[in-house]
């Protein structure tokens, strides 16, 4: 575990803003739905100490092992100087199963839940998630599942590949890229590494835009990662469960890193905050619907210039928050 701890480095984005919107106080209970490098968990644990509890979840076993190492060495770790070790619960699993996980651990209704949908630096450098490092095309957060990016490229038909690249990557050259992938497959060649896929993408682009191959590659790699890990389906399942599990007055904070996720969170919060849904021509309300939440962020928060200088990977991050009424 020592080896993991030394390599699993990740700077939590918008940490100051997350704490401002969650407002953790001594004795309260929180859920960190995406543990990652543990930045949010450590900060919250110190603020709710000594009696407060935090349940931290991650699909990646390395993230769990890394933070378990930090806990076991807390006496020399300033990040966890105030925490009560017994009150931090780590669970390897998918945040879409939040209701089952909370029930399993008999965790009380949380005062707040945070979910950071970004990737840790540790993950970006492994498993073929980034085209900037030479890796096998894996992309799985959960190493026990069978579906990989390599399998998708070798097995999905033309229409299915195009739909993934268009829906999840919003890539306008999807048709050309899919054609190149199929040509490679028809030659009996497997696309096994990040570099091989990058070359296919670059070769598929028209000459005037070949210098923008990195942009297309970023979108294609994002689309494959979303498909491999069922990211949008997981988020769609997580949001209503998380809100339902909050105690009254509890806060839900979600940080997204691309427009598809942000749109989903925005629409979910808007639905909760909406009251009467009767047609405007009705003289009085007949539906009796009341708002279930108050949106705390009129517009999504982004990283400050100071944070971007420290952590350029925070640039696409958007934070939205709501409180349960």
Q: What's the CATH number of domain 2-122+233-324, 1.10.10.10, 3.40.50.150, 3.90.1210.10, 3.40.630.10? A: 3.40.50.150
Neighbours of 285 (CB within 10 A): 12
Q: Is the pLDDT of residue 197 over 60?
A: yes
Residue 197 and residue 163: Cα distance in Å, rounded?
18
Is the predicted pLDDT of residue 17 greater than 60, yes or no? yes
Alpha-carbon distance of 40 to 118, in angstroms, equals 13
Reported as a single tens digit per residue, the pLDDT across 244-253 is 999 999 999 9
How far is residue 5's CA from residue 205's CA, in Å, rounded to a whole number?
41
Cross-strand bridge partners of residue 187: none
206 Cα distance to chain centroid: 33
Residues of the chain with CATH 1.10.150.170: 135-229
Q: Which fold has domain 135-229?
A: DNA polymerase; domain 1 (1.10.150)
pLDDT in tens, 135-192: 999 999 888 899 999 999 999 999 999 999 999 999 999 999 999 999 999 999 999 9
CATH 3.40.50.150 positions along the chain are 2-122+233-324
Q: What is the DSSP string of 174-241?
A: HHHHHHHHHHHHHTT----BHHHHHHHHHHHS-GGGGGGHHHHHHHHHHHHHHHHHTHHHHHHHHHHH
Q: For residues 317 and 13, what is the distance between their CA atoms, to the nearest angstrom?
A: 7
Least confident of 43-57, 84-98, 236-250, 300-314: 84-98
Q: What pTM, to 2 d.p., does this model score?
A: 0.90
Encode pLDDT of 35-63 as tens digits: 998 999 999 998 998 889 999 999 988 88
Q: Which residues contact 279 (CB under 8 A, 6 or more apart)?
A: none
């Amino acid at each position: 575990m020592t080896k993991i701890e030394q390599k699993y480095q990740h700077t939590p984005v918008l940490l100051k803003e997350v704490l401002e919107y969650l407002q953790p106080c001594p004795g309260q209970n929180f859920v960190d739905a995406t543990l990652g490098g543990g930045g949010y968990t450590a900060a919250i644990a110190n603020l709710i100490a000594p009696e407060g509890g935090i349940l931290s979840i991650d699909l990646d076993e390395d993230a769990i092992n890394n933070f378990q190492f930090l806990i076991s060495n807390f006496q020399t770790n300033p990040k966890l100087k105030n925490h009560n070790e017994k009150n931090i619960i780590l669970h390897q699993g998918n945040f879409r199963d939040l209701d089952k996980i909370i029930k399993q651990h008999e965790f009380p209704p949380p005062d707040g839940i945070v979910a950071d949908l970004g990737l840790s630096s540790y993950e970006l450098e492994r498993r073929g998630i980034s085209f900037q490092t030479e890796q096998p095309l894996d992309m799985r957060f959960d190493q026990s599942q069978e579906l990989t990016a390599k399998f998708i490229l070798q097995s999905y038909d033309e229409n299915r590949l195009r739909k993934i690249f268009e829906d999840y990557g919003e890539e306008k050259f999807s048709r050309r890229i899919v054609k190149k992938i199929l040509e490679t497959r028809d030659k009996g060649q497997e696309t096994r590494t990040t570099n091989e896929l990058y070359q296919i993408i670059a070769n598929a682009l028209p000459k005037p835009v070949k210098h923008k191959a990195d942009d297309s590659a970023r979108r294609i790699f994002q689309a494959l990662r979303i498909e491999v890990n069922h990211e949008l389906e997981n988020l769609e399942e997580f949001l209503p469960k998380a809100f339902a599990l909050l105690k009254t007055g509890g806060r839900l904070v979600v940080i997204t890193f691309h427009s598809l996720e942000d749109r989903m969170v925005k629409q979910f919060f808007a639905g909760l905050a909406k009251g009467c849904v009767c047609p405007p021509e009705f003289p009085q309300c007949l539906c009796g619907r009341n708002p279930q939440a108050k949106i705390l962020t009129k517009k999504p928060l982004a990283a400050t210039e100071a944070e971007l200088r420290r952590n350029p990977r925070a640039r696409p991050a958007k934070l939205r928050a709501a409180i349960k009424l």
